[in-house]
C-alpha cells in the first residue's frame, strides 16, 4: 500500500502561467542584446545574455544569412522556453527565385518580377511542412503558390521555363 506522500509526488505539477509570448526574427548565430532581440526580451523580463548565448550555441552550425523565426514563451516567474522555427516562406521563395525583394504591384496588375518552378516549390514545401501542422505536402505547396502570387513571382511547371 502506497503512502499519501508517494501519491502526491506522482501527481502532475501545476502548469505555469504564461505572462507573454514573443515572436522574433533572428539570423542564425547572430542573437545580440541590441535591437530587435534585446528590447523585446528586456520588456518581458528575460535574461537577455542567457538567451543570446543559448540561441547562438544552438544555431552555430547553421548558415549566418538564414533568418529564423523564434517563439519565446515567458512565464510569470520570469523563466522562459523558446522554440526555433524555419525561415519565412517569403525568404525561401526570394532566395530560390534569385530576387532581392518582391513586386511593388503583385497580382494581375503588375508584371512578375521573377519566376520559380514547381520543383523548387516542392523542395521549399518539404522544408516548411514541419512549420505547418495539419497540412499535407500538396496543401503546403498550394499555400506557397498563393504566397508567390502575392509577391509577384510567377510559378512555372518546369525549371527550364523559369
Cα 73–74–76 angle (5° rounding)?
Answer: 140
Q: Tell which residue, 28, 52, 57, has the closest CA to residue 38.
A: 52
Half-sphere exposure of 41 (CA within 13 A, CB side): 26
Contact (Cβ atoms closer than 8 angstroms) between residue 152 and residue 110: yes
Specify the residue for cell string 526570394.
Answer: 94
Per-residue pLDDT of the chain in tens (162 residues, 90 and over written 9): 444 443 344 334 457 888 899 999 999 988 999 888 999 999 999 999 999 999 999 999 988 788 999 999 999 988 999 999 989 999 999 999 999 998 888 766 678 899 999 999 999 999 999 888 889 999 999 999 999 998 999 999 887 776
Domains observed in the chain: 18-85 (3.30.1550.10), 89-161 (1.10.10.250)
What three-state secondary structure class fits 127? helix
- Residue 133 has a pLDDT of 86
CA 87 distance to own-chain centroid: 5
pTM greater than 0.85 (yes/no)? no
Q: Do 120 and 154 meet the contact criterion of CB atoms below 8 Å apart?
A: no
Return left, alpha or beta for 43; rule: phi > 0 is left, psi -120 to 50 is alpha, else beta.
alpha
Kindly give the residue spans of alpha helices, DSSP state H, lying in 12-157: 37-44, 48-58, 89-97, 118-128, 137-151
What is the C-alpha separation between 85 and 124, in angstroms, rounded? Answer: 14
Amino acid at each position: 500500500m502506497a503512502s499519501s506522500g508517494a501519491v502526491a509526488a506522482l501527481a502532475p505539477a501545476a502548469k505555469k502561467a504564461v505572462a507573454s509570448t514573443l515572436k522574433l526574427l533572428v539570423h542564425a548565430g547572430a542573437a545580440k542584446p541590441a535591437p530587435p532581440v534585446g528590447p523585446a526580451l528586456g520588456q518581458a523580463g528575460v535574461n537577455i545574455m542567457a538567451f543570446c548565448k543559448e540561441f547562438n550555441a544552438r544555431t552555430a552550425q547553421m548558415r549566418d544569412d538564414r533568418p529564423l523565426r523564434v517563439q519565446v514563451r515567458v512565464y510569470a516567474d520570469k523563466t522562459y522556453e523558446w522554440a526555433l522555427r524555419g525561415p519565412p516562406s517569403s525568404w525561401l521563395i526570394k532566395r530560390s527565385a534569385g530576387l532581392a525583394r518582391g513586386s511593388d504591384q503583385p497580382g494581375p496588375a503588375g508584371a512578375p518580377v521573377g519566376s520559380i518552378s514547381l520543383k523548387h516549390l516542392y523542395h521549399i514545401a518539404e522544408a516548411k511542412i514541419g512549420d505547418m501542422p495539419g497540412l499535407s505536402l500538396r496543401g503546403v505547396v498550394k499555400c506557397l503558390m498563393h504566397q508567390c502570387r502575392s509577391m509577384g513571382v510567377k510559378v512555372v511547371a518546369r525549371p527550364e521555363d523559369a
